[in-house]
Structure 1
Amino acid sequence: MASITAKQVKDLRDKTNAGMMDAKKALVEADGDEKRAIEILREKGVAKAAKKSGRVAAAGLTNFKIDGDNAAIVEVNAETDFVSGNDDFKKLVTSVTDVIAKEAPKSVDDAMALSVDEGTVQDKIISTTQSTGEKVTLRRFEVLKNTGNDNFGAYIHNGGEITALVQVEGADEATAKDVAMHAAAQNPEFLDRNDIPKERLEEEHSKLRKEALDEGKPEKIVDKMVEGRLNKFLAGICLADQPFVKDPDQTVQQFVESKGGKLKTFVRYEVGEGIEKEEQNFADEVNSQINK
């Protein structure tokens, strides 16, 4: 049996983020062969990750990367804010975002197979799961592509709690970034009215008409009232129609047009949105970290 040195353990830990005892056990099992030890740790990491797969990962970070004609927005999740604020987790998010922007994969499965550092994105996530003791997942991403005279702009709020990515045709990067800042703050649901499903519009129109009639308004003015209220509703959910945060006297669309551009698309991610998170008080959360 090969003698395992402290330096070998340190080198393996630096490469895998494994705990000291895990690294030493893997080297012993691999008879000192570092490559085999890395494979052993990965195999064990897969097992640990599988055990954590039923947990809810609703914390984490969003991020963006603009790489030439590609722009990516990404959300990577962990179970608690303790881990999402960890430097290793932040490095994971950065490396995953960078490779997704560069390679533009079509799906999460494709993204997990991309090469990064000395393994794949999946290997990196497994390693982070192993070192943090929490479920870590690549939840979602989107890659926008410049098809001509487009400009990208992005804005990150609160260190990655919210990220907005905007693509405009024409104008410039500064304009796109201003719109991204607006989108992060105002949380529009749609780019413009053309993106709203017909059923959603009809439902809102019917609701507003009923409200007006229930208020006892004369039939002959109801339609005009409904039109005004519907426009107000649309201004709340459509990026193009929202009053621009830096100049509420004009809409976002008018602002972009004043810069010689046209709104093309936007994506806004907020960490954990749509995930049902188990309630846990602060003391329990601290204890759960101490006991890991």
Structure 2
Amino acid sequence: MSANISAADVKKLREMTGAGMMDCKKALAEAEGDFDKAIELLRKKGQKVSAKRADREANEGVVVALVSDDKTKGIIVKLSCETDFVAKGEDFSGFAHKAAELALANFPDTLEDLLKIDMGGLPLADRVTELVGKINEKIELAAYEKLEATMISPYIHMGNKAAVLVGLNQASEAAYDAGRDVAMQVAAMKPVALDKDGVDQDTIAKEIEIGKDQARQEGKPEQIVEKIALGKLNKFFKENTLLNQQFVKDNSLSVAGFLQSIDKELTVTDFKHVALG
């Protein structure tokens, strides 16, 4: 080793990278005191850890939703890891919030675009890799959603285990509060679409086939099988599309009916829901 590695140097590298003390010491020794080279070595360690753990399940983590000050733009990011212990750590949750702030500030179109955005001199993707090296678990920025609307109501569910954004066609305090109630509905009832027009044709075809099979198994005559299946499809729309669902806080109303009780023109224009797992 041609360079003397001081405790101060190790401390400095640790502060710069967040890596462990011994990892910093080894990296500086291998890099012969060159900080840039040592940082690169630590990043490579992260990449190796990431590759080594690529087959592990990353079902824990943190989901963060942020909305712009004017409440017209919102984002959700999901940072996944392997264990609940890591998910609850300050390093991990702090990184997730920084990634969310970066997403809101830049408002990229896709997760791939988000991972390319600069975070302190490196792409966000490389910062994730560094975090892998520091924490020694499989970590990935697993989801990103964006939403624009006249007003957006956010909701964080179960200690950052899920997040919802609900876009509304009106901007008022009453609309915002109603949107929060609807966002909680989304988290609880997990609708597949806003209304029946948002359900894809493959899902509709599958539900019709399931309905036909059920009718045949019940011994119904073939000539009414199609009619029964369409009836079951309408039930599917009622149970699985947001505006048609029964409102959880008042089962006498649909979600659409609840919104109209606040203002007859109020409705949801879109929603986003991201959960762990």
Scaled to the shorter chain, the TM-score interval is 0.7 to 0.9
Distance 1:254 1:54, change over 3 A: same
Equivalent position of 1:30 in the other structure: 31
Distance 1:240 1:18, change over 3 A: same
Matched, 1:15 2:16: yes
Unmatched 5+ stretches in structure 2 = none
Equivalent position of 2:164 in the other structure: 164
- For 2:198 and 2:146, locate their aligned partners in 1 and report how far apart those are by CA, in whole Å: 19
- For 1:108 and 1:206, locate their aligned partners in 2 and report how far apart those are by CA, in whole Å: 35
- For 1:195 and 1:215, locate their aligned partners in 2 and report how far apart those are by CA, in whole Å: 30
Equivalent position of 2:68 in the other structure: 67
SS in 1 for 2:188: helix
The count of corresponding residues between Structure 1 and Structure 2 is 269
Equivalent position of 2:177 in the other structure: 174
Percentage of pairs with the same residue: 34
* Aligned counterpart for 1:105 among listed residues 105, 108, 111: 108
Equivalent position of 1:128 in the other structure: 131
Equivalent position of 2:40 in the other structure: 39
Equivalent position of 1:259 in the other structure: 262
Q: Is the 8 A contact 2:62 2:79 kept in 1?
A: yes
- For 1:210 and 1:45, locate their aligned partners in 2 and report how far apart those are by CA, in whole Å: 52
Q: Is the 8 A contact 1:208 1:230 kept in 2?
A: yes
Deviations 1:194-248 (A, max 9, x none): 1123343344345435545654668999888666544332221111111111222
Deviations 1:243-277 (A, max 9, x none): 111222111112223333221111111211xxxxx
Matched, 1:193 2:200: no
Equivalent position of 2:83 in the other structure: 80
- For 1:175 and 1:44, locate their aligned partners in 2 and report how far apart those are by CA, in whole Å: 48
Equivalent position of 1:237 in the other structure: 240
- For 2:219 and 2:24, locate their aligned partners in 1 and report how far apart those are by CA, in whole Å: 76
Cα shift at 1:114: 1.2
Amino acid at match of 1:143: K
Q: Which moved more, 1:257-266 or 1:161-170?
A: 257-266
SS in 2 for 1:130: helix
Alpha carbon RMSD of aligned pairs, Å?
2.5
- For 1:245 and 1:177, locate their aligned partners in 2 and report how far apart those are by CA, in whole Å: 13
* Aligned counterpart for 2:274 among listed residues 244, 269, 274: 269
Matched, 1:54 2:59: no
- For 1:110 and 1:206, locate their aligned partners in 2 and report how far apart those are by CA, in whole Å: 39
Amino acid at match of 2:6: T
Cα shift at 1:54: 3.0
Q: Is the 8 A contact 1:92 1:124 kept in 2?
A: no
Q: Which moved more, 1:90-99 or 1:191-200?
A: 191-200
- For 1:253 and 1:70, locate their aligned partners in 2 and report how far apart those are by CA, in whole Å: 22
Distance 1:229 1:20, change over 3 A: same
- For 1:221 and 1:108, locate their aligned partners in 2 and report how far apart those are by CA, in whole Å: 47
Cα shift at 1:179: 1.0
SS in 2 for 1:240: helix
Distance 1:190 1:117, change over 3 A: same
Q: Is the 8 A contact 1:70 1:102 kept in 2?
A: no
Amino acid at match of 1:14: E
TM-score normalised to structure 1 length: 0.82
SS in 1 for 2:159: coil
Distance 1:60 1:232, change over 3 A: same
- For 2:123 and 2:160, locate their aligned partners in 1 and report how far apart those are by CA, in whole Å: 23
Distance 1:220 1:55, change over 3 A: closer
Cα shift at 1:190: 1.3
Distance 1:216 1:43, change over 3 A: closer
Matched, 1:140 2:143: yes
- For 1:210 and 1:168, locate their aligned partners in 2 and report how far apart those are by CA, in whole Å: 39
Q: Is the 8 A contact 2:147 2:271 kept in 1?
A: no
- For 1:80 and 1:210, locate their aligned partners in 2 and report how far apart those are by CA, in whole Å: 42
- For 2:49 and 2:273, locate their aligned partners in 1 and report how far apart those are by CA, in whole Å: 32
SS in 2 for 1:170: coil
